[in-house]
Structure 1
Amino acid sequence: MSRPHDMGGRFGDGAVIPEPETPVFHIDWHPRALALTLACGALGKWNIDVSRHARESLSPTDYARFSYYEKWMAGLADLLAETGLVSREELSGQAPVQSGTSDRMLTADRVAGVLATGGPADRPSDIAQQFAPGDAVITRRKNGNRLVDGGHTRLPAYAAGARGRILRFHGTHILPDSSAHHLGDAAEPLYAVAFPASELWTHPEHPGDEVVLDLWQSYLEVAP
């Protein structure tokens, strides 16, 4: 599967235009899209990695033409249908919605607490820490998911095969490559890795700049 969402460092998509932080939402349906995504996520049928993969799995044509929140809603619709929470007939308005999940409904009074609690991804792991701050590493030359063909991964294409140094050890955390496909937590060591801009791009505007990525141990190898 192609990866139309993996756009970091790619040329030809135009300049990145920073937007002011206010207003947070630009169209009146955007906050409703966020609220619906949070409410459905609270039903416990999927995790954040599964939801990310759902958006990434949109057809390349749709991914390119959809706005940010349109991607969210399209991915959510697919998840609702896949988990049986809502049928495709219900989604299209051809049948009345008959939900059996009212006992897990995220009510307005619970939203602040749920958001404040968050969803920590640190987990115990039997995999030993291999690297320490200052160690030179190189990322896998191919950034694809090793468990699932075309699957979710947090190693961006622009950093594949790049040489960097370990900046910090974060502990052991859920591996998204596994979690996104209901294969279990598969927790492993997670590191902050610093890469010189000159290592990532042929003609960086500021060669001395660094890009810091949080990367799992299975993405990394000892640099020669």
Structure 2
Amino acid sequence: MTRVHDMGGRFGDGPVNPAPEPKVFAEDWHGRALAVTLAAGGLGQWNIDVSRHAREALSPKDYARFSYFEKWIAALADLLVAHGVVTREELAGSDPVQSDLADRVMTAAKVAGVLSAGGPADRPSTRSPRFEAGDTVRTLRPAANRMIAGGHTRLPAYAAGAKGRILRCHGAHVFPDANAHGLGERPEPLYSVAFAASELWAAPEHPRDEVILDLWQSYLEPA
């Protein structure tokens, strides 16, 4: 299922007019939105793929009108309630109840260590690489989660059914289509795949340009 967030290659949204990036945050609350999102993620109640799916699952009306960090905060509120971290009443302003997760709070002293550790997604896997550099492959059509109807996937709709060339295999990585829905990490080979612009767009400005996507093995078949 293609949701409103999957905008790549879509017509009708007007020109892209890049604005100068602020040195830090355009508004003070943007930094607080990032901080509380990372701190809540550090409670260990969900993973990065679950959080991405929560943003994608916002109603199309809200997704279209919310700014970037408003999407983050709205999705975080949904996650906190869905996972029982807080109640709707607490979010609405009622007196909070001491959480069983209070001992996991990310204090200022912990931030540098947590961020420097990162969140690597490479894993051992029993699934062997099916492709190697130079192989020609085709992505599945339609771009969809094959395990959960309407679920999270990292294959963009504009690349569905396109023919590309394997550049390299990155080893096995957590499979987002499963990990976003509590089905386990299910690591599998991840590839960099090059697509000619003429393969992806009906009228590319530069047909010989290439777009390189990192795609999991389950998205690919021999061309």
TM-score normalized by the length of structure 2 = 0.97
Cα offset, 1:19, TM superposition: 2.9
Superposed counterparts of 1:29-40, under 5 Å: 29-40=29-40
- Structure 1-normalised TM-score? 0.97
Whole-Å separation in 1 of the counterparts to 2:15 and 2:194: 24
* 1:116 is the counterpart of 2:116: yes
- Asked if 1:94 corresponds to 2:118, the answer is no
What code does the residue aligned with 2:21 have?
E
Counterparts of 1:200 and 1:212, CA distance in 2: 11
Q: How far apart are residue 23 of structure 1 and its match?
A: 2.5
Give the letter for the 2:113 counterpart.
G
Structure 2 partner of 1:194 = 194
The SS at the match of 1:43 is coil
User: 1:1-224 maps to which residues of 2 (within 5 A)?
Assistant: 2-223=2-223
Q: Say what the alpha-carbon RMSD is for the aligned residues.
A: 1.1
Determine the C-alpha separation between the residues in 1 that align with 2:14 and 2:115. 34
Deviations 1:26-67 (A, max 9, x none): 111000000000100000000000000000000110110110
AA of the residue aligned to 1:154: R
Deviations, residues 93-112 of structure 1 (Å, cap 9, x unaligned):
13434323221111112111
Letter in 2 for 1:211: V
TM superposition shift of 1:9: 1.3
**1:21 positional shift:** 3.4
Q: Secondary structure at the match of 2:28?
A: coil
Where 1:29 maps in the other structure, the secondary structure is: helix
Alignment size in residue pairs: 223
Query: How far apart are the structure 1 equivalents of 2:2 and 2:121?
Result: 27
* In structure 2, distance between residues paired with 1:120 and 1:96: 34
Deviations 1:129-188 (A, max 9, x none): 100011000000111100000000000000000000001110000000000001001110
Which deviates more from structure 2 when the two are superposed, residues 12-21 or residues 73-82? 12-21
Matches of 1:142 and 1:52, distance apart in 2: 20
Moved over 4 A (4+): none
Unaligned segments of structure 1, at least 5 residues: none
Q: Residue 172 of structure 1 aligns to which amino acid in structure 2?
A: A
1:2 deviates by 4.8
